[in-house]
Amino acid sequence: MKEAFTYGLNPKMLFLVYAIMLYKTTIDTSGAACILLSDMQIIGLPALAVLISLPFLMGFATGIGMAFAGIAFPLLLPLISANLEFNNYALLLAYTSGELGVLLSPVHLCLIFSTEYFKANLAKVYRYIIPPLLAMGAIAVFVYCIA
């Protein structure tokens, strides 16, 4: 227990948590997601690309699942519930894309703490996690397209 508290209350770790939460709040309050969605719509990206890219980028930027969902999903609501019908497949695609962004994010606390604790090389960790994440993304796109 002493070792766990010593590691958990390490000033470096506490600063890291604070810095990531400050960064997430900055992304959230800056309105970057609204501007990004607006730009995507202006250039005419199809719904599939928007459902993939906006949650992925918000997940990657924040590294927190609740943050990407809270930022991206209200903006994607017109795409997820078009014509007064709820599209479960669009929701699945958006959620999967956001989670992939979170899992790949260099500010994802679980990833940072795990690599720090096990003294792993982050580049090697990415080499192991990218193939299964690509497979997950491909399955989500496939399910969305056949539905």
Query: Please, are residues 107 and 23 in contact by the beta-carbon 8 Å criterion?
Result: yes
Distance between CA atoms of residues 60 and 105, nearest Å: 5
pLDDT of residue 139: 98
Whole-angstrom Cα distance, residue 24 to residue 107? Answer: 9
Q: What is the pLDDT of residues 44-91, one digit of tens each?
A: 999 999 999 999 999 999 898 888 888 899 899 999 987 778 899 999
Look up the pTM and report it. 0.83
- Say what the pLDDT of residue 145 is: 96
Would the pLDDT of 7 be above 80? no
Confidence of residue 116 (pLDDT cuts 50, 70, 90): confident
